[in-house]
Structures are given as C-alpha cells and as structure tokens.
Amino acid sequence: MKTTDSFGRPLVAVTGMGVVTSLGRGKDENWTALTSGRSGIHPITRFPTSHLATTIAGTVDFLPESRRGASPLTYALADLAAEEAVGEAGLPAADFGGPLFLAAPPVEIDWHHRLRLYAQSQRAGDWRSLIEAAREANEAELFDESQFATIADRIAEKYGTRGLPITLSTACASGATAIQLGIEAIRRGECDRALAIGSDGSATAEALIRFSLLSALTTQNEVPEKASKPFSKDRSGFVLAEGSGAMVLESLEGAIARGAEILGIMRGCGEKADDFHRTRSKPDGSPAIAAVRAALSDAGMSEDEIEYINAHGTSTPENDKMEHLSLSTVFGVRMPTVPISSNKSMIGHTLSAAGAVEAVFSIMTMREGVIPPTINYENPDPAIELDVVPNVKRDADVATVLSNSFGFGGQNTCLVMAREAG
C-alpha cells in the first residue's frame, strides 16, 4: 500500500478514537443516539436558571466531575476520550510515545472558589482581600485550576505522551486545529504518532451569560431537544454544550508496521483567518471559502471528490447562511445534491471540542456507511438549498468527508478525511 500522499508526504492514519457528549460516553452510545436522531439537549440543572434568557444546554451531567467546575470537568472529558482512543489504537495505556495536542477552553478560577475565598478573607471591600485569602489558603488544587497548562500536563503525565504538550484555542475551531497540529507534526517527521484531543466542560452560568450577551444562543427553551435546528428558517442561535473527542493519529506506514487497524485517513487540512469582525464573518464568505479550498488543495483533491460534508452548522442565523454561501461558491451547482448534516442539531455546540468530536463522527460515518441526520428540520430555510439529510439517518457509501469548523474571532479550519488511503 502507498503510504505517502501525492505531495510525497507521509499519509496520516487514524487508529483510535474516543468521544463523550451529552448523548453519552463512548463511541457506541453516541453513535446509537446520533443515528436514531436523538437529542442530548435538556433543561439546565447544574445551576439555577433564574434571570437567564437561555435555560437549556447540552451539558455532560453524568460524570462525577460534572458539578466540580469547568477545569475538573474539561480534564475528565479529555481523559475519557483519550482512554477510549488509546485503547482502541492498542497502544500502551501509559506510554503513548508521541506528542499531545489539546484543544481546551481558557481557564479561570471558578466563581464558587472565588466566593469561598472571599468569605474567608478580611472582606475589606477590595481585591487585596481576595489575593490575601488565596495566599493564606495555599490550596494547590486551586492554583492548578488557574493555570492554562494544567489539564494537558496531567493528560501528558497519565498517558506518557512525549515532550511539552500543547494546549490551544482557536475558539470553535479548536478541536480541528488540534488534529491539524498532529497531522503537521507527523508530516514533518517529528513523530510517528500524535494524540489530538478537543475537550470542553466549561458550560458554567457565566459562560452561558457571556454567549447570551452576544446574542449567540437560542432562547427556544420550551422543547429543549428541538432548539438546535441548523439550516431551518426559524433557527435562532446555538445551544451551549460540552463534550470531548480524541484521535490517535499515526503515520500510515507506522500504523501498518505495527499491525494497527486503520480507521480512516486524514487527507488534508486548511485554514484561513477572517479580518472582518470579532463575531461576524466577512459578508462575501471569502475566509470560509479559502479555508475549504485550502483543505481540498492540501488533500490534493478536487471538490468533486467530496461525498459528504460534516457541517459546522451551529444553528445561528449567521453561521448557517454563511456556511451555505461559502460551500455553494466552492461546490457550485453540485452543492444541493451533496449530503451535508450537522451533528450539532443533536449534541449542541461543544465549542473547543466540536472540531474533534465531529471529526470522530465523520470517520464513523464513513466506516458505518450511515450519515447521521440533521434533526429538527421541519421548517426549511428557503434561502438555504441543501440536502441536510433531514431528520432521519441515511445509509450511504461515503468514502470522503469534509468537516468544517468556523470560530469566533475569525479562525476557520477545515479537515478532509477519507475511508481509505486511496
């Protein structure tokens, strides 16, 4: 088998995958739910929702860490996904032997800790009391939670990844960027394998409020499972969610040599930043168009070769319109017939994890020959003419996938995956 691509670079295989979302833990639970069109969106119970415009989310509530704050939950989610991925790859559990790329949300000391420390302080009405109380308390765990390096450091320690682990953020594109960094490192010949994880357990009250204040979230709270409706006319914002996705990436040559099962091939990745606005994309869609084209060109493929698109599909009025515009520009008259679906219709927007979670689902789509649907597609947006695989899964022979991730702050990343080395 050929183990290099048309540019002579090492082909990158996926040999292990793990995932956690509000739909459940692990690939099996998630796949069963996704292909039966089940939503993981539910009323928020983690914190009171009085005064909040949005009272639903796709939080992961079934873990012991679910109520312990953003950092512990983000770690736990990353850990579970990594465990499943490394296990499937058949690699030693504590001696991974390649670098770690972790997409994770920015960290801050949790409000509950802030309030507790202040209650222990001199309460003198300014920030000095809080700092003094923090110093007095001298709680190692609190310090660790305030450090951006901690989660990756712990994952690196547990799985025996090599070198200085990289934690990154490209907002909603982060998970895809983590995979891209892994692909690039393998192509440079720096390593035979890399562990790429996207994890996000940051659905706190403050996070929800911040996105609310930007008018990014839907307020269709009445029937939570119907609130995320990408490409529908009455879509009104995304649903905040949590989750994690992990991939073991390996040079195809190395994977074959050790007899690993090849789950899929990462053919190409591309990115393009937007310089238009902090939360809105350029009206002509040129950055998203350029990101898709860059990914195709990096994969050495033409747009005709893409058989399915895993959409960014957030269910905001803006994103879905722009995504349609961009894809129509790239794919032309063929676009209305290319199946495209949004996992976010069921799992919500898992933010830093989304690109990795959706890459895992993209590979599963090819392996299982089943396209998960875009649910809640009852009122199509006439301005968006797409085959969104409405409401019900579809059996389909899919050999290639394009997965889109478009972030706040203008960071756009696209991945092209294939079932076989080709």
Residues 286-315 interacting with other proteins (rule: CB under 8 A): 287
As to burial, measured by CB atoms within 10 angstroms (0-12 exposed, 13-18 middle, 19+ buried), residue 109 is: middle
Options 165-173, 220-228, 309-317, 353-361: segment touching other proteins (CB under 8 A):
165-173
* 8 Å CB contact between 29 and 270: no
Q: Which residues are catalytic?
A: 172, 312, 349
Which listed residue (3, 4, 49, 329) binds other proteins by CB under 8 A?
Answer: 49
Q: Does 333 bind other proteins (CB under 8 A)?
A: no
Q: Does 6 bind other proteins (CB under 8 A)?
A: no
CB atoms within 10 A of CB 113: 18
Torsion over CA of 225, 228, 232 and 236, rounded to 10 degrees? 120
Q: Does 280 bind other proteins (CB under 8 A)?
A: no
Q: Does 130 bind other proteins (CB under 8 A)?
A: yes
Which listed residue (171, 247, 351, 416) binds other proteins by CB under 8 A?
Answer: 171
Instruction: CB nearer to other proteins: give 56 or 386.
Output: 56
30 phi and psi angles, rounded to 5 deg:
-65, -40
Which listed residue (64, 119, 337, 382) binds other proteins by CB under 8 A?
Answer: 119
Options 56-64, 86-94, 170-178, 258-266: segment touching other proteins (CB under 8 A):
170-178
- Cβ at position 181, least distance to other proteins in Å: 7
Q: Does 142 bind other proteins (CB under 8 A)?
A: yes
DSSP 333: G
Q: Does 266 bind other proteins (CB under 8 A)?
A: no
Which listed residue (4, 146, 221, 236) binds other proteins by CB under 8 A?
Answer: 146
Q: Does 188 bind other proteins (CB under 8 A)?
A: yes
Three-class DSSP category at 102? strand
Which listed residue (202, 251, 403, 411) binds other proteins by CB under 8 A?
Answer: 411
Options 73-81, 88-96, 127-135, 219-227: segment touching other proteins (CB under 8 A):
127-135
Binding track, positions 354-393, relative to other proteins; x by CB under 8 A: ----------------------------------------
* 8 Å CB contact between 306 and 400: yes
Instruction: CB nearer to other proteins: give 7 or 62.
Output: 7
The vertex-291 CA angle with 325 and 402, nearest 5°, equals 80
**How far is Cα 319 from Cα 237, in angstroms, rounded to an integer?**
9
Q: Does 337 bind other proteins (CB under 8 A)?
A: no
Which listed residue (66, 71, 167, 228) binds other proteins by CB under 8 A?
Answer: 167
Determine which helix (DSSP H) or strand (DSSP E) holds 84, and give its type and residue range: helix 70-89
Which listed residue (94, 115, 223, 383) binds other proteins by CB under 8 A?
Answer: 115
Q: Which residues of 176-200 are buried (b: 16+ CB within 10 A; e: fewer)?
A: bbbbbbbbebbbeeebbbbbbbbbb
Instruction: CB nearer to other proteins: give 288 or 388.
Output: 288
Three-class DSSP category at 12? strand
Give the residue among 331, 5, 88, 81 at the shortest CA–CA distance from 323.
331
Q: Does 267 bind other proteins (CB under 8 A)?
A: no
Q: Does 418 bind other proteins (CB under 8 A)?
A: no
Give the residue among 401, 342, 331 at the shortest CA–CA distance from 369.
401
Give the residue among 342, 417, 326 at the shortest CA–CA distance from 387.
342
Length of the chain: 422
Structure tokens at 36: 């039966």
Q: Does 61 bind other proteins (CB under 8 A)?
A: no
Which listed residue (26, 300, 380, 409) binds other proteins by CB under 8 A?
Answer: 409
* 8 Å CB contact between 251 and 3: yes
Q: For residues 200-259, which are near other proteins according to CB under 8 A?
A: 205-206, 209-214
**How far is Cα 141 from Cα 144, in angstroms, rounded to an integer?**
5
Q: Does 95 bind other proteins (CB under 8 A)?
A: no
Positive or negative, the CA dihedral 271, 275, 278, 282 is negative
Q: Does 168 bind other proteins (CB under 8 A)?
A: yes
- Cβ at position 318, least distance to other proteins in Å: 15
